[in-house]
Amino acid sequence: MKPSRTACALSLAATLATLVLAGCAASPAVRYYSLSAATPATAAAAASKPLLVEVPPLSLPERLVRPQMVVRAPTGQLEILDLHRWSSPFDAELHDALASGITQQLGAIDVSGGGRLAGQPVYRVAVQLRQWEAVQNQRVDAGFSWTIRRSDDARNIACQWNQSEPVGAGMDALADGARTLTAQAAQRIAASLTALDADAAAKCPG
């Protein structure tokens, strides 16, 4: 007896469903990374009037404004990796990691979202990421510049810092290198702010 059209249709649908499920099961999973330190930095002791800090959105190359990791292969080719992503778009991820690192280093309060105290000056920290090259299995190069300006007078400072962090093989190592550079940048910026708060004529820490 010939199978009915309904039975054939059901059999075909079941076969297609099996193929789709098999294809999904074989698809590699997306991996997510963060620039924030796994263990928070030790916060400075809170003063009676903690510093107030505002960190506006960062300025950085347009090619990096995406959640996917942007890396350079050892051959020099630039690659956007769909399966390796930051936990948020890179500009937001870097901003949050820097702002958190700076305030933790200083025991400061981030007032970027409001909540300023009347009569207390705010330090506005504007950061520019001038260079960011993540070379697979080799290193991460970063170039930061920043200006810090106090809201109540002409006290300000402008600094820059370049660093290269060697990394091992694999994307986990590359993410670790990026996280290390971000933490170091936050430390440098915090040191600049501390120097400026103590002396209006302060120079960028060496």
- Closest listed residue to residue 102, CA positions, set 115, 111, 91: 111
Residue 190: the pLDDT is 98
Whether residue 26 has pLDDT greater than 80: no
Q: DSSP states of 32-48 as a string?
A: EE-SS-SSPPPPPPPPS
Whether residue 92 has pLDDT greater than 70: yes
Q: Which helix (H) or strand (E) holds 183?
A: helix 171-198
Ordered domains of the chain (ranges, CATH):
30-198 (3.40.50.10610)
Which residues make Cβ contacts (< 8 Å) with residue 59, sequence separation at least 6? 126, 127, 128, 129
Question: Is pLDDT larger for residue 75 or for residue 160?
Answer: 160
Residue 135: the pLDDT is 96
- Give the residue-averaged pLDDT of 155-173: 96
Helix, strand, coil distribution of the chain in percent, nearest 5: 35, 30, 35
Q: Which helix (H) or strand (E) holds 127?
A: strand 122-135
pTM of the predicted structure, to 2 decimals: 0.83
Chain segment 113-150, per-residue pLDDT in tens: 876 666 789 999 999 999 999 999 999 999 999 999 99
Given a contact cutoff of 8 angstroms between Cβ atoms, the answer to whether 143 and 160 are in contact is: yes
Percentage of the chain exceeding pLDDT 90: 70
Whether residue 31 has pLDDT greater than 90: yes
Q: 3-class DSSP state for residue 15?
A: helix
Whether residue 18 has pLDDT greater than 80: no
Mean pLDDT, rounded, of the chain: 86
